[in-house]
């Protein structure tokens, strides 16, 4: 929304003299093998021909797919591009652990 619609992005906290960035898994999904394997086993589908085999080692495998390509640079995934926040809202004692106070501060600062 920031890049296509011009939405303002706020980052809460972070070092004040360092440009803060926002991002997540844009257009993608992330999981890991153990989560997929547990789902397959609990649904009783482990004997299905499409079910993944068990690992033979004590291993960890992350899985990410369907990455969205960039809006400003469509040759690379969006996650690899810059996402500078519009506002870096300092984390202060009067707003910490208070979502309502955070939103009120954002309304005063940004809107």
Tell whether 106 is covered by a domain.
yes
Contacts of 97 (CB under 8 A, 6+ apart): none
Domain that holds residue 88: 1-23+81-111
pTM of the predicted structure, to 2 decimals: 0.59
Tell whether 50 is covered by a domain.
no
> Which tens digit of pLDDT belongs to each residue from 41-95?
999 999 999 888 888 888 888 887 767 888 889 998 888 889 999 999 999 999 9
Q: Which residue is associated with the tokens 């989560």?
A: 35
Tell whether 6 is covered by a domain.
yes
pLDDT of residue 34: 87
CA distance 36 to 45: 11
Tell whether 70 is covered by a domain.
no
Tell whether 69 is covered by a domain.
no
22 closest CA partner among 39, 7, 5: 7
Answer for the pair 4, 71: CB distance below 8 angstroms, yes or no. Answer: yes
> Which tens digit of pLDDT belongs to each residue from 21-46?
987 667 667 888 889 889 999 999 99
Structural domain total, the chain: 1
Contacts of 55 (CB under 8 A, 6+ apart): 33, 61
Tell whether 99 is covered by a domain.
yes
Tell whether 97 is covered by a domain.
yes
């Amino acid at each position: 929304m920031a890049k296509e619609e011009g939405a303002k992005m706020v980052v809460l906290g972070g070092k004040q003299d360092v440009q803060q960035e926002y991002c997540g898994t844009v257009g993608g999904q992330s999981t890991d093998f153990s989560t997929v394997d547990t789902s397959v086993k609990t649904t009783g589908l482990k004997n299905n021909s499409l079910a993944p085999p068990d690992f033979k080692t004590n291993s960890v495998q992350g899985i990410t797919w369907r990455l969205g390509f960039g809006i400003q640079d469509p040759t690379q995934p969006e996650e690899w591009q810059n996402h500078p926040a519009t506002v870096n809202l300092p984390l202060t004692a009067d707003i910490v652990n208070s979502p309502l106070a955070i939103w009120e501060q954002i309304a005063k600062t940004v809107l």
